[in-house]
Structure 1
Amino acid sequence: MSSKTKILLLKKRELIYTLLFAALAVILIVLMIWMFLPAVRKSSQASASFSPGIYTSQVTLQNNTMDVEVRADHSGIRSIELRNLSDAVSAMYPAIQPSLDKLARQICDSQSLENIYYEKSSQYTSQMLLDAIRSALELAREI
């Protein structure tokens, strides 16, 4: 009698394991389909409309303040420039203007702050400038 009980328990256990593995397989298949299907993802930067105007964000380097100026209209970002860049700052940080020029070209072409490439030698300068551009664009969206 006890042998029949064990056989039934084994069958129940096998059934439970089979159901668990089947459920995991279905979940895995759904996740793989969800991950690998091409999704239409629009960048929040590119799809956003801006209020026309000139927006600035301040950047401070060793007690010297300069402005990152972003010009935008309804269709997107038109230009990005540095204002109030003193000779002392440009002498101390010679990579700041070329870095901004490269970033501005990429951002104006793509109308997005995503997938922006910069040289490893100027990554900190570029990241600081990107943060300033991002905060200026947030102002353009708020209005």
Structure 2
Amino acid sequence: MSSKTKIVVLHMKEIIYTVIFAVLAIILILLLIFMFRPEHRSASKDNRIYTPGIYTSDITLNNTALEVEVTVDESHINSIRFTNLNESITTMYPFIEPAIEDIAEQVYKKQSLDNIQYSSDTPYTSQLIVQAIETALKKAGTTK
């Protein structure tokens, strides 16, 4: 009887290298799939707090209109400032700049208008500023 049996000799080192390279190839393919797959926007829309942009609101102080500008991205308040604050207004209302800086600092830390501490020097002006910021944030799409 003649059999055509072939004997294949595999070295253990070659088998181990082959398995390691196969595992690395699978990991690389999975990594590339996860990195370059299209993101699902529906989940990220649920996490949005604001519509990114610059929103404004007006304050009237003694027949002088001031515009409060609030800049937001999807989840953070980035900037709060007066856009048309000139020297005559700061002369008439010297505490207005420190008031908005104090409020802006608190809002940056908390990312919310809840529990804002008003300065004892300018409680009413601070309330007007907070109301203007709240109005601008409502335009941005938040309910806070």
Fold similarity call, TM over 0.5: yes
TM superposition shift of 1:130:
0.3
Match of 1:102 in 2: 102
Give a deviation string over 1:78-112, Cα, whole Å, max 9, x none. 11001101222111110001100010011011011
Match of 1:87 in 2: 87
The residue correspondences of 1:1-143 to structure 2 (distance < 5 A) are: 49-141=49-141
AA in 2 matched with 1:121: D
AA in 2 matched with 1:88: S
TM superposition shift of 1:140:
0.2
AA in 1 matched with 2:71: R
Q: Measure, in 2, the Cα distance between the counterparts of 1:87 and 1:69.
A: 18
Name stretches of at least 5 consecutive residues in structure 1 with no aligned partner.
Answer: 1-46
AA in 2 matched with 1:116: I
Give a deviation string over 1:48-97, Cα, whole Å, max 9, x none. 60000000001111221111000000021111001101222111110001
Q: Measure, in 2, the Cα distance between the counterparts of 1:57 and 1:112.
A: 17
**Greater C-alpha Rg:** 2
Q: Measure, in 1, the Cα distance between the counterparts of 2:56 and 2:78.
A: 14
Contact 1:48/1:141 (CA < 8 Å) preserved in 2?
A: no
Tell me the secondary structure at the aligned position of residue 129 of structure 2. helix
Q: Measure, in 1, the Cα distance between the counterparts of 2:62 and 2:87.
A: 13
Q: Measure, in 1, the Cα distance between the counterparts of 2:119 and 2:71.
A: 25
AA in 2 matched with 1:101: E
Give the TM-score taking structure 2 as reference length: 0.63
Q: Measure, in 2, the Cα distance between the counterparts of 1:89 and 1:51.
A: 31
Give the TM-score taking structure 1 as reference length: 0.64
Contact 1:61/1:89 (CA < 8 Å) preserved in 2?
A: no
Query: What is the number of residues matched between the two proteins?
Result: 96
Q: Measure, in 1, the Cα distance between the counterparts of 2:70 and 2:91.
A: 23
Moved segments of 4+, more than 6 Å: none
